[in-house]
Chains A and B, each alone.
Chain A
């Protein structure tokens, strides 16, 4: 009870402080102060403190199952394990918004703290813009999504959180994702500040690069965690479904990755200033739009939070304000590009421009695919679905030139690459990649030409990046990330080419044949656990080489009344063997699905390599 009061009034205080900060920074700007006032920094810290306090009070309410708090009542249960009581704090709409605020206030505080060498006007402007966003979220929370609403009479028990959401990967997925997603807010504010300040130069690029990389690392990790959860928990064996909520996290990622490349160009050659700024603004705009699409109820998805049109209206208006604000500032302050600096076509800058070109295309495919059904329905009242086939058809062909450019690009010099004779080695490597690819594809029954070229291109990037590791003076972080990406494309392709599946309805004691294997349904055992009844089945999969025993489980929860299937997954470097069962109504039949997913674990490893490359950029050693 008390913690709800504490949480609520901390929020009110935080809100007041943000309004104060907004006016204070405005006044300091008009007075052209030379330094940040000590008061400003203190209030900024206090603002962070109030939000942390509010967040912790909510956590406390969850841990103590304080059902006088409506959010806790809706999303928790006394029998939930402690870890999931805590993670339940941000597993709902109101709590996750509090997490948004936490990251927003944390990042501006860290930013001011770490930008001591930056001009004061720039810092004040960043503060100003970030506070606009913060105020917007405070209002959103306090007016439409209060996490501290009271319930009277106090219920004895909560409604419980969906057991599918009680998973370690899913528990940390929101905080990590938000560090990336919401972290892009600081890039947005700092870019607007740099626009007004008119100091978009190499120093600024170097400074903002750290923030871009940080947000990017967390966003990549966050998306990966969501995918891992879907794969291990949902029991379908898939890891990406082109579901609107997934797409909504992918869009800022694509933008951020493009920005990551552009900022390097800005740092080295002081060109593409306007484009860099547009990307910065677009990234956060996409994050905000994503929040709108997911929380307003306008889209139909497995992941959507509770839907409420009034919340949607708020975010929509807020988003509109932010975009118009950015447009106005851009209109008045846009940098005048120096017309002497040109880009030679055979240079590294061009390949980075090409990277951006492809990234923006991928972004447009995902954006249009996700939002088109909404437009169609509003305008013509027709409903269509846009699913995986659409995205695959439009994206995969373009991966081919993309991969090849990725292989060539890093090898080109800045400004101008002289036309050396194409080394025989390069040419042989190119041919070799496609040859190997053909030999592999030939063994499968898929359409040869297209798949061969696709895998060949991925192999080319793969070999080129491996070759780079053996040279001196390489850009290690870039190479690791590009290598990780080639590995990712290869793993996903091999996974879809060589995986196999088998599904049937089986009785206890039955055995069935598939390919060269025998699947035996031995028996089931039932157990009573703390908050669910467990049915564990025993299967043997007998292949030519060996016998593996699987124990997939079905859990029947009492609160809420839900049935979940826990797959038994045996991972190895070559494949994941995946067995999942489902209860069929009435009979003693179980629906059994066995999948052999090739190279699954390499998909996760390659994404980790991608992230590792980003981390490595922080510890770059210059071998000059």
Chain B
């Protein structure tokens, strides 16, 4: 009898393990940290791209109801395609756009802006990439939507899509 119980337990364990693996097959493998969080945006500063003046984020954030922080670079191909959406978003009066130029060459970055337009009120230069990492980014482009209390409302990894834009508009027009 004892032997039969052992076999039964083994069999049940097998069923358990296999169901877990089965379910596991259909889970996405790429890691994306939680898109919504109750985190606050840390304060950051850097030199402005065109004026070379050191600017600090806290004043910029608190002065506007909603701020979009977009991390980009001239060598990043998806950033190019996303730029038009940023230009459209900049027309939204409730939104202030801040750009962070990630590990880029200043000349190439300026050329990029001259060519495609400037949706940003300010562009911070992040040559080392440390600022972007401190903001929790790990790839570009990445976009953060924050309110005037520096609370991160939404985080978008990868280029912004039309769906994202609709979401942003809904939140900012409330």
Binding site for B on A (CB under 8 A): 292, 296-300, 307, 309, 312-313, 316, 319-320, 323-324, 327, 331, 374-375, 377-379, 383, 585-586
Are A378 and B24 CB-contacts (below 8 A) given A307-B29, A331-B7, A586-B105?
A: yes
For window 147-172 of B, CB contacts with A under 8 Å fall at: none
For window 1-36 of B, CB contacts with A under 8 Å fall at: 7, 10-11, 14, 18, 20-27, 29, 31
| Chain A contact surface mostly | helix
B103 in contact (CB, < 8 A): yes
The listed residue (B7, B10, B21, B105) touching A316 by CB distance below 8 A is B21
User: Closest approach, in angstroms, between the C-beta of B69 and any C-beta of chain A?
Assistant: 22
What is the interface size of chain B, counting residues whose CB is below 8 A from a CB of the partner?
18
User: Closest approach, in angstroms, between the C-beta of A569 and any C-beta of chain B?
Assistant: 31
User: Closest approach, in angstroms, between the C-beta of B83 and any C-beta of chain A?
Assistant: 21
User: Closest approach, in angstroms, between the C-beta of B125 and any C-beta of chain A?
Assistant: 13
Are A313 and B22 CB-contacts (below 8 A) given A377-B27, A383-B31?
A: yes
Q: Are A323 and B24 in contact (CB under 8 A)?
A: no
Q: Are B25 and A327 in contact (CB under 8 A)?
A: no
List of B residues within 8 angstroms of A585 by Cβ:
75, 103
Are A378 and B20 CB-contacts (below 8 A) given A298-B25, A320-B14, A324-B14?
A: yes
Some 16 contacts from A to B, beta carbons below 8 A apart, are A292-B21, A296-B25, A298-B27, A313-B22, A316-B22, A319-B18, A323-B14, A324-B11, A327-B14, A374-B20, A375-B24, A377-B27, A378-B20, A379-B20, A383-B31, A586-B103
User: Closest approach, in angstroms, between the C-beta of B24 and any C-beta of chain A?
Assistant: 5
Q: Are A297 and B25 in contact (CB under 8 A)?
A: yes
Task: Tell me the complex Cα distance, A292–B17, Å.
Answer: 13
Task: Tell me the complex Cα distance, A529–B16, Å.
Answer: 54
Which residue of A is nearest B103, CB measured? A585
The residue among A313, A316, A378 with the most chain B CB atoms within 10 A of its own CB is A378
> What are the nearest 4 A-B pairs in CB distance?
A312-B25, A309-B25, A374-B24, A378-B23
User: Closest approach, in angstroms, between the C-beta of B70 and any C-beta of chain A?
Assistant: 20
Q: Are B14 and A378 in contact (CB under 8 A)?
A: no
List of B residues within 8 angstroms of A292 by Cβ:
21
Q: Are B20 and A316 in contact (CB under 8 A)?
A: no
User: Closest approach, in angstroms, between the C-beta of B130 and any C-beta of chain A?
Assistant: 15
Task: Tell me the complex Cα distance, A319–B26, Å.
Answer: 18
User: Closest approach, in angstroms, between the C-beta of B4 and any C-beta of chain A?
Assistant: 9
List of B residues within 8 angstroms of A307 by Cβ:
29
**Known contacts A312-B25, A374-B20, A586-B103, then 11 further A-B pairs from the complex at CB < 8 Å, ordered by chain A residue:** A298-B27, A298-B29, A300-B31, A313-B22, A316-B22, A324-B14, A375-B24, A377-B24, A378-B20, A379-B20, A585-B103
Q: Are A313 and B103 in contact (CB under 8 A)?
A: no
List of B residues within 8 angstroms of A324 by Cβ:
11, 14
Task: Tell me the complex Cα distance, A377–B31, Å.
Answer: 11
Which residue of A is nearest B22, CB measured? A316
User: Closest approach, in angstroms, between the C-beta of B105 and any C-beta of chain A?
Assistant: 6
Task: Tell me the complex Cα distance, A32–B31, Å.
Answer: 58
List of A residues within 8 angstroms of B29 by Cβ:
297-300, 307
The residue among B7, B21, B23 with the most chain A CB atoms within 10 A of its own CB is B21
Task: Tell me the complex Cα distance, A299–B26, Å.
Answer: 11
Q: Are B24 and A298 in contact (CB under 8 A)?
A: yes
Which residue of A is nearest B14, CB measured? A323
User: Closest approach, in angstroms, between the C-beta of A104 and any C-beta of chain B?
Assistant: 23
Q: Are A313 and B18 in contact (CB under 8 A)?
A: no
The residue among B10, B29, B75, B103 with the most chain A CB atoms within 10 A of its own CB is B29
User: Closest approach, in angstroms, between the C-beta of A4 and any C-beta of chain B?
Assistant: 30
Q: Are B31 and A313 in contact (CB under 8 A)?
A: no
List of A residues within 8 angstroms of B10 by Cβ:
327
User: Closest approach, in angstroms, between the C-beta of A563 and any C-beta of chain B?
Assistant: 15
